[in-house]
Amino acid sequence: MDSGEVAGAPLLFLDVDGPLNPYAAQPERRPAGYTTIRVPFGRDEGPLGRARMLRVWLNPAHGPALLGLGCALVWATTWMDDANRWIAPVLDLPRLPFVDFGEALLRERPDGVHWKTTAIVAYAGGRPFAWVDDEQSALDHAYVAAHHAGPALLHHVDPRVGLRDGDFEALADFARTHGGPGADTDGSPDADADPDPDLG
């Protein structure tokens, strides 16, 4: 399958851990509608060196919902291309492009701007974009406002609950206003970076 990108559609940058995998939910209680996968991520110390497994909760309904937004989906996650191997099949998503963070991966900045933000703005290149994540701050909103020429929605998702109906509604509204299916023709191009995080 291809990415199914709609011509002129806004970009939607997707974090995995938090929005799609509500890792901060109660560990003994898998959220309703979610399934569990276990992904190897290194090995235990010792002679046997058994693979350590990362538990990931995913909701298969999120894939069709994301595709239905009419955005061009892009992974923006520490998983990078591994999201296509482990996450996309569970959500029935096609193989998606991803932001390659290179040496910036997990490297904290002295100015407090998230290490993803510069790369996401560069990838967008002025194109309208929404970015769902659980780690954005006011510093990221300010950076995007100063360095990105087009509309942008930085949408915070509570990692205890993951993406909910209200989150999809906010993303759909942004897509309609800025080039997605049923786009408004008179939408303002510069009023979309939420100053207050949406906590679900």
Tell whether 5 is covered by a domain: no
Which residue range is the domain that position 101 belongs to?
A: 11-25+58-177
- Tell me if the pTM is above 0.75: yes
Tell whether 189 is covered by a domain: no
Name the more confident of 185 and 72: 72
11-14 and 129-133 as β-strands: parallel, antiparallel, unpaired? parallel
Predicted confidence band at 7 (pLDDT cuts at 50, 70, 90)? low
Tokens 């235990």, residue located? 44
Q: What is the structure's pLDDT at 30?
A: 86
Interval 148-169: pLDDT, tens: 999 999 999 999 999 999 999 9
Predicted confidence band at 198 (pLDDT cuts at 50, 70, 90)? very low
Asked which of 165-169, 182-186, 195-199 is least confident by mean pLDDT, the reply is 195-199
Tell whether 171 is covered by a domain: yes
Q: What is the structure's pLDDT at 190?
A: 40
How many domains in the chain? 1
The CATH number that applies at residue 108 is: 3.40.50
Tell whether 191 is covered by a domain: no
Tell whether 183 is covered by a domain: no
Neighbours of 15 (CB within 10 A): 23
- The CA-CA-CA angle for residues 9, 91, 107, to 5°, reads 75
Tell whether 32 is covered by a domain: no
Interval 83-94: pLDDT, tens: 999 999 999 999
Tell whether 182 is covered by a domain: no
